Structure 1
Amino acid sequence: MSRLTSFAIIGSGYIGSFIISGFLAQASPPSTLIVLSRNPESKNFPPEVKLVKVDDYDNVDAVARILSAYKIDAVVSTVGYGGISLQRQMANAAKKADVRLFVPSEFGSPTDGAPSIYPPFQERDEVAEYINSIGLPCARFYTGGFIGRALFSVTGVRVNGKINIIGKGQSPVSFTLEEDIGGFVAYVLTSLSISSLSNTIFRLEGDRASLQDIANWYGKEVAYVEAIPGAHSETLSMFSRVFESGAGSTGWSFKLGREGEGPDAAGSANRLWQGHQWKRIRDVVTKL
């Protein structure tokens, strides 16, 4: 069985830090783990992690030389919204360096087949399609909202103390704890065969709740609004509309307009991490 042993992480911000920690915590950690960064001097990682400076991600040849020098098997991208389209060049570099798998930055709600009314989702899907078009195997991870962040940001509860809802707030939403996301990504990438990873969508779900459920659990007043209050209102309002539509579930299919079943159901990938106890919302968040 052919497995991956050497990894390059692009982006070491919020979710990237959890994925790096997940790799380091594995019983059999990677033989090589590098983090590509424009500003490596600003990072602080254990000695097992090699920080490598990249001046320009658009320079395909330069990035490919780095990946080749470290004999990288898989590239895991954790870039934010501003770097989504740049992943095409990253994928070109990975292809040139004979990387065996590319993990684009998803780590949220489903994006395959996303409509134009959700531009960031559509952009992620277009990137995944591009990776496929150049013949580079790809693995996508749908995690739903981050338990440590989404409850506070998308509800706007820290702005006015209320659960702010666009619509009725009754649609089920998938949530997964960031530590569980990082651990799962590292576990499957180091334990599954390349054939099991290639062109696969992994649908995680640590917990499942509607915004109304969350309001009830924490005894919060509901405010029905047209926009989520606070900073980044436009982006957060889009996520709230995604939740309302049902597409906040990791089992959602834009093509079908409903939840998937079997291997396409929310949380269907959880079983791959045998013996793991997934944290639920109220295991982690004691109050809002």
Structure 2
Amino acid sequence: MSKLTSFAIIGSGNIGSFIISAFLGQAAPPSTLIVLSRNPESKNFPPEVQVVKVDDYGDINAVARILTAHNIEAVISTVGFGGISAQKKMVDAANLAGVKLFAPSEFGSPTDGAPREYRPLQERDEVAEYINAIGLPWARFYTGAFINTALFTVTGVRVNGKINIIGSGHTPVTFTSEEDAGGFIAYVLTSLPSSSISNKIFRLEGDRASLQDIAKWYHKEVAYVEAIPGPRSEILSMFSRIFESGAASTGWNFALEGEGKGWDAAGSANELWQGHQWKKIRDLVTTL
């Protein structure tokens, strides 16, 4: 089966911007790259990027017409938490337009089989199950926690100068840089045959460390807390509990309540990007 050559990216937030940059930087760039945005004027896109305004992602026919007009073969969604469930309309539009692959917004911890106590993860899994149910090929990318954001948010270190931990903090967590995640996604989607991408979960891992490791590396006091301090405490506390449970490893299997093996292991997909040097936490963050 041939390689994919035309792509639409939905959203241009944190990971979206890295994916866009990676697509533009590939040695063999795609023949078509468009970014769908409701507010294209709100962000300075690179001049090489063709931005298409979308008034309403819920208008399935309108979105499908855009994808069809540009002969889009693959759609990569990078929507944030607030737009996860709304992706089902985008999936319907992609299916109507004859798109060959849909990559829903994952880019974090594993979500397949996530329990209700981790509702944001469960919502992502529901979208993936919907894509599969209608027969549209998919690809899911598990990156673990992003180095340049999670170290500061989930630890609450910017609030009180301490590594705040719910639990013991000894459980290993997968960390990956946003740049590596974006680069990997662009690489596999443009370099590998679509048959080797479709209906697969890609488990990345740039680095692996516990919160106790991080406290030690950066000489930070540990605070054992019931909730992560500061803004967005509820959602950050949930992620801290995910860290503690083991489910923040990209190899986590909710059904087995443990690590997967082989292709299901954390970092198993790294080998696909041959020769790439994955960035480590201490390569990117010199101080907390």
- TM-score, normalised via structure 2 length: 0.99
Distance in 1 (alpha carbons) for counterparts of 2:151 and 2:57: 33
The equivalent residue for 1:18 is: 18
Instruction: After superposition, give the CA deviation of every residue in 1:134-156 in whole Å (9 maximum; x if it has no partner).
Output: 11001000000000000000000
Distance in 1 (alpha carbons) for counterparts of 2:131 and 2:190: 21
Instruction: After superposition, give the CA deviation of every residue in 1:74-105 in whole Å (9 maximum; x if it has no partner).
Output: 00000000000011000000000000000000
Matches within 5 A, 1:29-178: 29-178=29-178
Distance in 1 (alpha carbons) for counterparts of 2:220 and 2:45: 39
Q: Is the Cα contact below 8 Å between 1:169 and 1:212 reproduced in 2?
A: yes
- Alpha-carbon shift at residue 40 of structure 1 (Å): 1.1
Distance in 1 (alpha carbons) for counterparts of 2:45 and 2:27: 19
Instruction: After superposition, give the CA deviation of every residue in 1:95-143 in whole Å (9 maximum; x if it has no partner).
Output: 0000000000000000000000000000000000000011100100000
SS at match of 2:268: coil
Gaps of 5+ in 2: none
Gaps of 5+ in 1: none
Distance in 2 (alpha carbons) for counterparts of 1:133 and 1:284: 40
- Alpha-carbon shift at residue 285 of structure 1 (Å): 0.4
Q: Is the Cα contact below 8 Å between 1:176 and 1:204 reproduced in 2?
A: yes
The equivalent residue for 2:282 is: 282
Distance in 2 (alpha carbons) for counterparts of 1:173 and 1:38: 34
Distance in 2 (alpha carbons) for counterparts of 1:20 and 1:115: 32
SS at match of 1:117: helix
1:179 is the counterpart of 2:179: yes
1:251 is the counterpart of 2:251: yes
Distance in 2 (alpha carbons) for counterparts of 1:113 and 1:220: 35
Q: What's the C-alpha RMSD, in Å, of the aligned pairs?
A: 0.6
Q: Which amino acid is the alignment partner of residue 172 of structure 2?
A: P
Instruction: After superposition, give the CA deviation of every residue in 1:63-82 in whole Å (9 maximum; x if it has no partner).
Output: 00000000001000000000
Stretches of 4+ aligned residues off by more than 4 angstroms: none
The equivalent residue for 2:213 is: 213
- TM-score, normalised via structure 1 length: 0.99
Distance in 1 (alpha carbons) for counterparts of 2:42 and 2:230: 29
- Counting matched residue pairs gives 288
The equivalent residue for 2:196 is: 196
Q: Which amino acid is the alignment partner of residue 90 of structure 1?
A: M
Distance in 2 (alpha carbons) for counterparts of 1:5 and 1:48: 16
Instruction: After superposition, give the CA deviation of every residue in 1:14-52 in whole Å (9 maximum; x if it has no partner).
Output: 110000001011000111110101111222222321100
Distance in 2 (alpha carbons) for counterparts of 1:145 and 1:175: 5
Distance in 2 (alpha carbons) for counterparts of 1:12 and 1:284: 22
